[in-house]
Structure 1
Amino acid sequence: MSQHLAPTMTATQSPPVMEARRWLAAATLPEGLELLNVSQAAPVAPPPPPLRAAMIAAIEEDDGSHLYGPVLGLPELRETLANSMTGRYGGAVKDSQIAITSGCNQAFAAVMSTLAAPGDNVILPVPWYFNHQMWLQMTGVEPRALDTGPSLLPDPEAAAALIDARTRAIVLVSPNNPCGVEYPDALISAFRDLARARGLALIVDETYRDFDSRSGAPHSLLQDPDWDDTVISLYSFSKAYRLTGHRVGAIATSPARLAQVEKFLDTVQICAPQLGQRAALWGLKHLEDWLAGQRDEILARRTAMETAFQRLPGWELLGCGAYFGYARHRLGLPSDQLAERMVSEIGVLALPGTMFAPKGAPRGAEEMRFAFANIDETGIRELAERLGTYTPS
C-alpha cells in the first residue's frame, strides 16, 4: 500500500534537536572528554524542592489536578499572570486577555491558526526560531525571511518592504532565540507601529523574558490602552520554573482572538496539563526571589560567555543573552558539517546556523548557536578552550 503524505509536511525539516541527538548517538566521544551539550535551550534540573512538594500535594489533595479544566486555562492562573504582567509592564492586562497553553510552541501554533491560512505569509527575522518556521511551513503559510544582518536586529523598513496583500503577521523573539539579543523598546515599538498601520498582528515571543539583563519593563507595548488590537505576547513557564516536561505556556491577546484560540486548543488538547498549571500558579505566587537568583546566575554565565569568546581564534560572538551565545566561525566548513564533527572530535554538541536560516542562506553555513545556560562558568571556559584549539580533521 502506498503512503500518502502531505507535501507541506514532507518539505519541513526534521526537528533540529532530535537531529543533533542522532549525531550524538552515532558518535564516539574523544577519550577523556565529557560531552559539553550546548544544543538545547531547556533546563536539565527538576523544579526546586518547594515547588515539587507543592506539586506532590496537588496530586494527593486536589482532585482537579487529574481532570479536564477550562480550555483557556485555570482561572486563578490567568488572573495571577495578568496581574504579574500588569505589575511588570505597566498599563493593564486583564485575565480575559490571557490563555494558558501546553507550552509556548502550542501558544504560537494556536495564535497562527487564528491569523494565517495556506497561501498567506508571516515575516520572521533570520536567524529564526526553527519551530516557528516549521509550523508555518507545515501549515502552508510562507515564512518570509527578514535578514537581521551582523547586528542581529531586525529593521522595520526592511520588514515593510516584504509586506504584501497576503502578509498576516510579524514575529519577534526577545530576548532572542537563537541569538540572545535583547531588542530595544524603541525597535519593538516601531514594529508595533508598522504592524498597526498595515493591519497586521505583531507577535512577541517572550519565552526568555525572566532572564532579560535590563531592569524594569523590557518594552512599553502593554502601556498602550489599545495594545491588544495589534500585539500578541507569548510566554513559557518552562524556563522560569523548570517545568519543561509539564508543558505550560501562555498567550496575551484580545478576548475576541482568544475565542478563536479556544477552538484550536479544544480540538488539539482540550486543556493544558492541570498539574503543570498548578505548578505555574504556585511558582508565580512563591518563587519570585528564587527566580531572581536564577536570573543572576544566567547573567553571570552570559558574562562568562562573553569573556571566554574574546579573541577566540576562528570565532566571533555576534550575540549573547538569555540562554544563548550566537557565533560566526571561520573554520572552512559549513556549519552543519562542522557541528556534527565537533561531537566526535572535541565532545561539543551545538546547533548549526543552517537550522536557523532558509535553506542555502550564506549566513547559515557560517554561524552556530551555543545554549550555555546548562553549563556553569567552568564549563563555559572549557567550551572556549576546546573551540580555541580546534582544527577540523
Structure 2
Amino acid sequence: MSSSATQKTFAPPVMEARRWLDGVDFPPERPLINVSQAAPVDLPPEPLRRAMADIALNEPQAHLYGPVLGLPELRREIAESWSAAYGASIAPSQVAITSGCNQAFAASISAIAEEGDNVLLPAPWYFNHKMWLDMAGVTAIALPTNAKLLPDVDAAREKITERTRAISLVTPNNPAGVEYPADLVLAFFELAQEHGIKLIVDETYRDFHSQTGAPHALFQQDNWQGTLIHLYSFSKAYRLTGHRVGAIVTSANVLGEVEKFLDTVNICPNQMAQFSALWGMQNLGDWLRGERLEILNRRAAIEANMPMLAEKGWTLKGCGAYFAYLEHPFEIPSDQLAKTLVKDASILALPGTMFMPDDDPSAARHLRIAFANIDANGIAKLFTRLAALRFSLAPSQRGK
C-alpha cells in the first residue's frame, strides 16, 4: 500500500531510460542515436535569444511576480491567434498561461476532478498524463485504439460512468504520432457534451501537423467552452523547453478553478518565458513554418526508410509530429529490447510498456521513436541499425 501520492505512480520514464546509458561506452564508429525524448535540444533561434537578452535587461516585469493566469498581452495574443486559426471567437478571459503543458494538464484535472473520479485515456497514452492522474487519485481508464491507433467513440461511450469527468486526447499524438481526423475529434466532443463531461485536447504538436488550416472545428461549436479544455505548449514551437510555458483555453469558470491550482503551485508562470513566447508569436511565423517543413521532411524520411524494416517484420503503426510508433518482430519484449538496443546498437528509444497499461500484451511489441533531434541522414542510420538486428523472432513472425 502506498503512503504518499507520488508512490501511487511509476518513475519518470525518460529519466529511467537515461540511466540505461550509465557505464556504457559507445564505439566511435557507432555513436549513440538518442530517440528517447521529444524535446528539441537545439537552442531557440538567435533572434529570439537576442530578444530574450533585451527582455532580461530592459523589461522590469520579467523579474517580478505577474498575474496568476498569465501575462495579459500573451493571453490576448493567443486569443486573437487561435480565433484566426480556428475560425472562432475566443476571448482573453478564456486563456490561461501555465508553466508548460504538463502543468496545464495537471491544473485542468485539479479543476474538474477529485479523488475517486476517472478520466478516459486512449492507449498508448502520454505517460505524464497517466502519472498525474495516479498522483491525484483519479483513475485512468484505458481506451483501446484500433490498428491505426485511433480511439473509438462507441467504446468510449461504454466506459463512461457517473464518476467520469473527462476524455483526454492528444493530437498529433504522443507517443504514436497519429493525427486524429477532424470528424473523430468532433465525435468525441459531442460524446463529452452529451454526458456533461469535459473533452481535454492536448495540441502540443499542432504546429507540426501535416495538414494546413485548422485541424478540427471544436472552437466553432455552440458553447464550446462548456465542454472543451484545450492545451498547448510553446516548448516545441520556439524551443523554449527549459523555460516552461504552455496554455489552457477553456471557459472562464474553469479557469477560475485553475487559478487556485496555479497560485498554490507557482504563484505565476515564468515571466521571462511569457515575454519570450509573446515575442515568438509576433515575430517568428516564417521561422516556425520552416521548422514545420523540416519535421515533415523527417516524417517522410521515416516512411521512405520503412521498407528496409518491413522486410525484417517491423510495422509502422503511426507516424507524425515528432514520433514514429513501431511494432517490432522479436520474441524479446520491448522493455528488454529497449535496454538491449543501448549496448547492441547504440540506440536509446522508449518501449511500448512505458505507454500502456501493465496488463496490455501489445505493449511488449512496440517501440516509440522520437525524431525531434535527428535529421533525415540520422533517420537512415537509425533504420540501418534496426534492420541489422538479429534476435529471435516472435512466433507470429517466423518464416517472414
**TM-score (norm: length of structure 2):** 0.96
Q: Does 1:358 align with 2:354?
A: no
Letter of the 2:268 counterpart:
C
Deviation at 1:151, TM superposition (A): 1.4
Residue 157 of structure 1 corresponds to 154
Residue 302 of structure 1 corresponds to 299
CA distance in 2, matches of 1:86, 1:367: 38
CA distance in 2, matches of 1:329, 1:10: 32
Structure 2 residues without counterparts, runs of 5 or longer:
393-400
Matches within 5 A, 1:176-325: 176-312=173-309, 313-325=312-324
The Cα RMSD (Å) is 1.2
Letter of the 1:324 counterpart:
F
Residue 125 of structure 1 corresponds to 122
Residue 74 of structure 1 corresponds to 71
- The CA deviation string for residues 71-108 of structure 1, in whole angstroms up to 9 with x for no partner, is 00000000001111011101111100000000000000
CA distance in 1, matches of 2:221, 2:157: 22
**Structure 2 counterpart SS, 1:34:** coil
Letter of the 2:151 counterpart:
P
- The CA deviation string for residues 284-316 of structure 1, in whole angstroms up to 9 with x for no partner, is 000000000000000000000111112411311
Q: Check conservation: 1:30, 1:345, Cα contact below 8 A.
A: no
Q: Does 1:330 align with 2:332?
A: no
CA distance in 2, matches of 1:54, 1:47: 11
CA distance in 1, matches of 2:11, 2:353: 12
Q: Check conservation: 2:326, 2:368, Cα contact below 8 A.
A: yes
- The CA deviation string for residues 241-284 of structure 1, in whole angstroms up to 9 with x for no partner, is 00000000000000011111000000000111100000000000
- The CA deviation string for residues 176-196 of structure 1, in whole angstroms up to 9 with x for no partner, is 000000001100000000000
CA distance in 2, matches of 1:333, 1:269: 44
Letter of the 1:194 counterpart:
L
Q: Does 1:33 align with 2:30?
A: yes
Q: Check conservation: 2:94, 2:255, Cα contact below 8 A.
A: yes
Q: Check conservation: 1:341, 1:392, Cα contact below 8 A.
A: no
CA distance in 1, matches of 2:7, 2:258: 26
Q: Does 1:148 align with 2:145?
A: yes
Letter of the 2:388 counterpart:
T
Letter of the 2:245 counterpart:
V
Q: Check conservation: 2:2, 2:8, Cα contact below 8 A.
A: no
**Structure 2 counterpart SS, 1:143:** strand
CA distance in 2, matches of 1:20, 1:207: 22
Deviation at 1:5, TM superposition (A): 6.0
CA distance in 2, matches of 1:100, 1:31: 44
- The CA deviation string for residues 134-176 of structure 1, in whole angstroms up to 9 with x for no partner, is 0001111100000102110000000001011111000000000
Of 20, 31, 53 in structure 2, the residue corresponding to residue 23 of structure 1 is 20
Of 42, 45, 53 in structure 1, the residue corresponding to residue 42 of structure 2 is 45
Deviation at 1:31, TM superposition (A): 5.4
Of 9, 26, 31 in structure 2, the residue corresponding to residue 12 of structure 1 is 9
CA distance in 2, matches of 1:250, 1:386: 39
Q: Check conservation: 2:144, 2:151, Cα contact below 8 A.
A: yes
CA distance in 1, matches of 2:359, 2:162: 27
- The CA deviation string for residues 10-38 of structure 1, in whole angstroms up to 9 with x for no partner, is 23110000000000124332452111000
CA distance in 1, matches of 2:356, 2:58: 48
Letter of the 2:329 counterpart:
R
Q: Check conservation: 1:129, 1:356, Cα contact below 8 A.
A: yes
Q: Check conservation: 1:29, 1:345, Cα contact below 8 A.
A: no
CA distance in 1, matches of 2:22, 2:164: 41
- The CA deviation string for residues 306-327 of structure 1, in whole angstroms up to 9 with x for no partner, is 1111241131110000000001
Letter of the 1:382 counterpart:
K
Letter of the 1:224 counterpart:
Q
Residue 89 of structure 1 corresponds to 86
CA distance in 2, matches of 1:54, 1:6: 47
CA distance in 2, matches of 1:28, 1:123: 42
CA distance in 2, matches of 1:203, 1:156: 15
**Structure 2 counterpart SS, 1:326:** strand
CA distance in 2, matches of 1:345, 1:106: 37
CA distance in 1, matches of 2:158, 2:229: 22
CA distance in 1, matches of 2:308, 2:382: 14
CA distance in 2, matches of 1:303, 1:118: 43
Q: Check conservation: 1:92, 1:225, Cα contact below 8 A.
A: no
Deviation at 1:115, TM superposition (A): 1.1
Structure 1 residues without counterparts, runs of 5 or longer:
none
Q: Check conservation: 1:29, 1:346, Cα contact below 8 A.
A: no
Count how many residue pairs are aligned between Structure 1 and Structure 2.
390
CA distance in 2, matches of 1:175, 1:19: 25
CA distance in 1, matches of 2:191, 2:254: 20
Letter of the 1:322 counterpart:
A
Q: Check conservation: 1:30, 1:344, Cα contact below 8 A.
A: no
Identity of aligned residues (%): 57
Deviation at 1:6, TM superposition (A): 2.9
Letter of the 1:381 counterpart:
A
